Structure 1
Amino acid sequence: MTSNGSDAGDAPGRLRAALAARFGVDERALAVLRAALAALVVVDLALRARHLTAFYTDAGVLPRSLLAEQYGVLAQFSLHALSGAAWAQALLFGATAVAALAMLAGYRTTLATLATGVLVTSLHYRNPLVLNSGDTLLRMLFLWGVFVPLGRRWSVDALADRTPDASDGRVASVATAGLLVQVVVVYATNAVLKLRGDRWLAGDATERVLHLDMFTVLLGDALAEYPALLSALDRVWLAMLVGSVLLVALTGWLRAAFAAAFAAAHAGMLATMQLGVFPLVSVAALVPFLPPAVWDRLPGWRRTPGVRRLPVERWARRVDGALPLLALPRPPRALVRWKRRVLPPLLGVLLVGLVAWNAATVGLVGVPAAAPVDESPEPRWDMFAPTPADTDYWVVAPGRLAPGERVDAFHGGPVRWAEPPDVAASYPSSSWRKYVANLRGGDPALAAGFAEYLCTRPGAPEGLRSVEVYVVEEAVVLDGEGETERVRLAARNCSGG
């Protein structure tokens, strides 16, 4: 009886320990997540900067007037929409890079994370036409990242003793739960959608994806020749998605192995498909699932030859004092106590709302009549689901210079309707491919913005009088070539006459 009473009395403690083991995150994992997110932002900025004028200025494909017309609410939340000039966008790009580098170093980590997240969100909202699921996931990771101690380890803040709170090396809170559940929600939602199609269950979905030449790069063409292997990978990936809840249910090395399997799958996507930074963001999102046992196996910088003797702490203190303007005063104790009482319930509501919203997008729960959203919200995580696209396409933009003279106003050179040798390479970047994908079936005003840009962009063919924008669509056929169809998206008189 005494033993049973003792066990019953300790039940809440065992429950708390079980929840902490599954929803807690090692501080070293948070440090690596911080560095990974910051580095990804810098890389993404560099990639987007190549098309800064085209995608983020009034001289591009989506001037602010068209942005406000098509995405009025989003435009209001974008600092980048305050100016249509290229210099202003370059300035904001630079500010985002500075904030990301501060976050990478762990300098004023919470402030740097908040600033980077706000600027990245602002950039995304400036042109929703070039975004993919990786961008959405990146924003969500920043949202949760603001509320977890990303700078407690391996940072300037930690080395300069700016984070004096005692810790056992593991953080368990509503925010860490949100960080982990967010990733599971992505996979679980995608699993539900894939199960509603026939291609993933049939085992030929990946083969069809790799026959979409607009996506396939590097090893993709070679893998497409092994349908039996791809069919097996289809079923393994679908099983992993269906069982993605195990990412939080498992602990220790089993959790690490399962997270590593997901990371390997995303590495495979990176090696076979042109998906921008989506696979890298997905790998970064898996880092918090790695348990303490993994990090305990790492030597740490203090035991690394060639590094351990460096005066890292002294350097960190010098960096810490380099910008006194950012030395924020400590908040009043009353405010700290209020934050500790109010913030967890608010984050709890956010977490419940996150799960409910995604359940509503796949029809698992209904949307209340009073909700400020459509009764059938679109799912965010529908990557190649429920069925992969069955149409490949590329852009052809015939431009008329003079009677009898024509040029491709998008690619330059003569107008060619035939399939390019490398469809993926015919798009300047994955952002351009995503942009064209959103033009198909979208508001004609968006495609008209593309035609206008081709008329006026720097480097446009001299004497360009008019331009048309087409996509040439080709049906995907696994054992041959499909039929093609020319679909005109827009036309523009460049001379104004």
Structure 2
Amino acid sequence: MTTADSAGAGRSTSRERLAPRLRAAIRRRLGIDPRALAAFRIALGVVLLVDLALRARNLTAFYTDAGVLPRATLAEARPLGARLSLHALSGDPRVVSLLFALAAVVAVALAVGYRTRVATAVSLLLLASLQARNPFVLNAGDTLLLQLLGAGLLCPLGARWSLDAVRRSGAEIADSTTDSPESTAATPADRVAVAADRVAGPASALLLSLAVVVYVSNAVAKFRGTTWPAGEAVGLVFRLTYLHGPLGGLVPEWPVLLSAATYGWLALLVASPLLIAAAGRIRAALAGTLLAAHLSMALTLQIGVFSVVSATALVPFFPPFVWDRVERAVAPAAERLRRLPGPSGTAGPPIGDGPIRVLRGWAAAAVPALAAVLLVALVAWNGMALGLVEAPGPVASVSDPTERGWDMFAPDPPSTDALVLATATTADGDRIDALYGDRVARDRPPSDARAYPTARWRKFLTRLADDPGPNRVGPVLAHFCDRAAEFAGEDGAPIRSVTVSAVDVDVETGETRVDELGTRSCSTP
């Protein structure tokens, strides 16, 4: 063998050794433990149930014709959403309640892993419909939740810790006694996931990228402001009383602590690409720190489901050694559950080689290609939202990406406390707070303005203050007339009128500005 031949053989051998290592490194970073996908599925189901429960408190107010956004108003403001939303087919609270109940049942099915792909698809459909019914109460968490469901639909969420896995296991045992070649209860992707230590491919990369894109986009937006780099942003956020959560008012006003929190959160956002670039304990530590930070936000800030949705998005990042410990911890309880009478494990009649099997094969083959397209679209859209990439003409003609970025508290937090005065006057001259129902002073001063009962009321009313058109203000005042009448009760005096005003208080100077959004006569005294 010549020297050249030896050198060529050496390079070939090096490439042969390098390729498996490179594939293994990529798999460690873009792959997801099937048990992490199972925990992610459970968290998704729980978050959907929590979201439905929180929304149900104001079901009539936000999703019926008797509320602040009747279907006619929705059709004028968002015609496409009005046409596509199942929740806009009827303005009757009973019909909307049935849709809420259906969504809850499907969310439970998703959490326990029963017909997982069907449950995920139906949950995605119902959530999109619900969000389209009232887009004025949504925040970034709602958008992220919808995207997580869509990405989860492309992953084998039911491969582990699910009723589907139990049924599949029973079917495989039955098949082994009848020499059946394979179980008919699982898709090819699910069968691969059961055997593999990680699920890796475009679908897993898409799911992981969702959270990282949010963090990176938000970090870029924050550095374009002044308060985050100066360490002042968190202190400014907690001076906004309308954003206070259950423990928000208890956060100490220590400049050093608040500055450290500002820089700490900014550092986590900057480090977020390590969620994909790193592996093992570094990834676990970063994901755990971010998860803890989001849960602390849920206690201190009134930001709806954003915190728990963000925490759910972090679950797939935890590596196998975390789930090994989880399984060891729950092993005694799991063993007791296995001893209980359960499903027979039969998977129904074999599908055979008919058209359904062919369609499932085609669908399984199309998933990676679809996930790859969505991944490219995700990165491109957020690049356009940040102004890093110019939006093509067809995209710009339909929507402005810069208006749909992940700019939570960026580039700077608001500098005004946005409050609301919703005052109903009775025929006797008494005053009732139309949002809360308690009595207020006859000459209610702006300083008596209050925050909002829920994060969705805050979103709706602050957006109304930004765009107080008569077509939107009218239904709101009509709803507050009815709401105040319920608070007054049958024995109370009739409600004569309702007035709603937006109150902005500058947190630096204390300067107060009052903008009356509208007044409506409710009844004749």
TM-score between both structures, scaled by the size of structure 1? 0.91
Deviation track 1:414-434 (CA, whole Å, cap 9, x = no partner) reads 24335459x4xx422111111
Deviation track 1:117-158 (CA, whole Å, cap 9, x = no partner) reads 211111111111111111111000000011101111100110
Of residues 442, 446, 450 in structure 1, which corresponds to 2:472? 446
Which amino acid counterpart does residue 373 of structure 1 have in structure 2? V
Which amino acid counterpart does residue 461 of structure 2 have in structure 1? V
Q: Which residue number corresponds to residue 187 of structure 1?
A: 215
Q: Which residue number corresponds to residue 408 of structure 1?
A: 433
Structure 1 residues 329, 409: closer, same or farther in 2, change over 3 A?
A: farther
Q: Secondary structure at the match of 2:495?
A: coil
Offset of 1:165 from its aligned partner?
1.6
Q: Which residue number corresponds to residue 394 of structure 2?
A: 370
| Aligned residues between the structures | 486
TM-score between both structures, scaled by the size of structure 2? 0.87
Moved more, 352-361 or 441-450: 441-450
Q: Is the 8 A contact 2:44 2:312 kept in 1?
A: yes
Of residues 465, 474, 492 in structure 1, which corresponds to 2:505? 474
Question: Is structure 2 residue 254 aligned with structure 1 residue 229?
Answer: no
Moved more, 9-18 or 384-393: 9-18
Deviation track 1:66-108 (CA, whole Å, cap 9, x = no partner) reads 0111111122221101000000010000000000011111111
Q: Secondary structure at the match of 2:229?
A: helix
Q: Which residue number corresponds to residue 291 of structure 2?
A: 263
Which amino acid counterpart does residue 134 of structure 1 have in structure 2? G
Q: Which residue number corresponds to residue 32 of structure 1?
A: 39
Q: Is the 8 A contact 2:114 2:163 kept in 1?
A: yes
Which amino acid counterpart does residue 56 of structure 2 have in structure 1? A
Q: Which residue number corresponds to residue 169 of structure 1?
A: 197
CA distance in 1 between counterparts of 2:56 and 2:352 reads 32
Moved more, 78-87 or 236-245: 236-245
Q: Is the 8 A contact 2:245 2:300 kept in 1?
A: yes
Structure 1 residues 329, 473: closer, same or farther in 2, change over 3 A?
A: farther
Q: Which residue number corresponds to residue 178 of structure 2?
A: none
CA distance in 2 between counterparts of 1:241 and 1:69 reads 39
Deviation track 1:379-418 (CA, whole Å, cap 9, x = no partner) reads 3311111110111122212333338554433333124335
Of residues 381, 385, 390 in structure 1, which corresponds to 2:410? 385
Q: Is the 8 A contact 1:134 1:282 kept in 2?
A: yes
CA distance in 2 between counterparts of 1:157 and 1:228 reads 51
Q: Which residue number corresponds to residue 197 of structure 1?
A: 225
Q: Which residue number corresponds to residue 352 of structure 1?
A: 376
CA distance in 1 between counterparts of 2:354 and 2:304 reads 40
Deviation track 1:168-194 (CA, whole Å, cap 9, x = no partner) reads 231012111100001111111101110
Q: Is the 8 A contact 2:446 2:514 kept in 1?
A: no
Structure 1 residues 496, 140: closer, same or farther in 2, change over 3 A?
A: farther
CA distance in 1 between counterparts of 2:141 and 2:102 reads 22
Moved more, 190-199 or 401-410: 401-410
Q: Secondary structure at the match of 2:157?
A: coil
Q: Is the 8 A contact 2:113 2:164 kept in 1?
A: yes
Deviation track 1:320-379 (CA, whole Å, cap 9, x = no partner) reads 88xx89x99985443344334433222211111111111111101000112243455313
Offset of 1:455 from its aligned partner?
1.9
Which amino acid counterpart does residue 505 of structure 2 have in structure 1? E
Q: Which residue number corresponds to residue 177 of structure 2?
A: none
CA distance in 1 between counterparts of 2:355 and 2:41 reads 24
Q: Which residue number corresponds to residue 180 of structure 2?
A: none
Deviation track 1:300-324 (CA, whole Å, cap 9, x = no partner) reads 47x6334413335851447x88xx8
CA distance in 1 between counterparts of 2:19 and 2:29 reads 15
Deviation track 1:230-267 (CA, whole Å, cap 9, x = no partner) reads 10121121122122111100001110001111112112
Q: Secondary structure at the match of 1:304?
A: helix
The structure with the greater share of residues assigned to helix is: 2
Q: Is the 8 A contact 1:27 1:150 kept in 2?
A: yes
CA distance in 2 between counterparts of 1:154 and 1:329 reads 29
Q: Is the 8 A contact 2:223 2:411 kept in 1?
A: yes
Structure 1 residues 376, 311: closer, same or farther in 2, change over 3 A?
A: closer
Q: Which residue number corresponds to residue 30 of structure 2?
A: 23
CA distance in 1 between counterparts of 2:418 and 2:360 reads 55
CA distance in 2 between counterparts of 1:132 and 1:493 reads 32
CA distance in 1 between counterparts of 2:354 and 2:322 reads 35
Of residues 73, 82, 85 in structure 1, which corresponds to 2:89? 82
Q: Is the 8 A contact 2:31 2:199 kept in 1?
A: yes
CA distance in 2 between counterparts of 1:4 and 1:314 reads 60
Q: Which residue number corresponds to residue 343 of structure 1?
A: 367
Which amino acid counterpart does residue 458 of structure 2 have in structure 1? R
Q: Which residue number corresponds to residue 142 of structure 1?
A: 149
Moved more, 285-294 or 2-11: 2-11
Of residues 272, 287, 294 in structure 2, which corresponds to 1:244? 272
Q: Is the 8 A contact 1:390 1:475 kept in 2?
A: yes
Question: Is structure 2 residue 150 aligned with structure 1 residue 124?
Answer: no
Deviation track 1:7-39 (CA, whole Å, cap 9, x = no partner) reads 223444333322211111000000000000101
Q: Is the 8 A contact 2:154 2:367 kept in 1?
A: no
Question: Is structure 2 residue 165 aligned with structure 1 residue 158?
Answer: yes
Moved more, 397-406 or 12-21: 397-406
Structure 1 residues 443, 489: closer, same or farther in 2, change over 3 A?
A: closer
Structure 2: gaps spanning 5 or more residues: 1-6, 169-184
Q: Which residue number corresponds to residue 106 of structure 1?
A: 113
Q: Is the 8 A contact 1:159 1:317 kept in 2?
A: no
Q: Is the 8 A contact 1:185 1:358 kept in 2?
A: yes
Structure 1 residues 491, 350: closer, same or farther in 2, change over 3 A?
A: same
How high is the sequence identity, in percent, across the aligned residues?
Answer: 44
Which amino acid counterpart does residue 78 of structure 1 have in structure 2? S
Q: Which residue number corresponds to residue 459 of structure 2?
A: 434
Q: Is the 8 A contact 1:400 1:464 kept in 2?
A: yes
Q: Which residue number corresponds to residue 311 of structure 1?
A: 338
CA distance in 1 between counterparts of 2:513 and 2:53 reads 35
Which amino acid counterpart does residue 273 of structure 1 have in structure 2? L
Structure 1 residues 45, 375: closer, same or farther in 2, change over 3 A?
A: closer
Q: Is the 8 A contact 2:435 2:453 kept in 1?
A: no
Q: Is the 8 A contact 2:203 2:367 kept in 1?
A: no
CA distance in 2 between counterparts of 1:430 and 1:232 reads 27
Of residues 437, 442, 463 in structure 1, which corresponds to 2:494? 463
Structure 1 residues 234, 179: closer, same or farther in 2, change over 3 A?
A: same
Q: Is the 8 A contact 1:210 1:224 kept in 2?
A: no
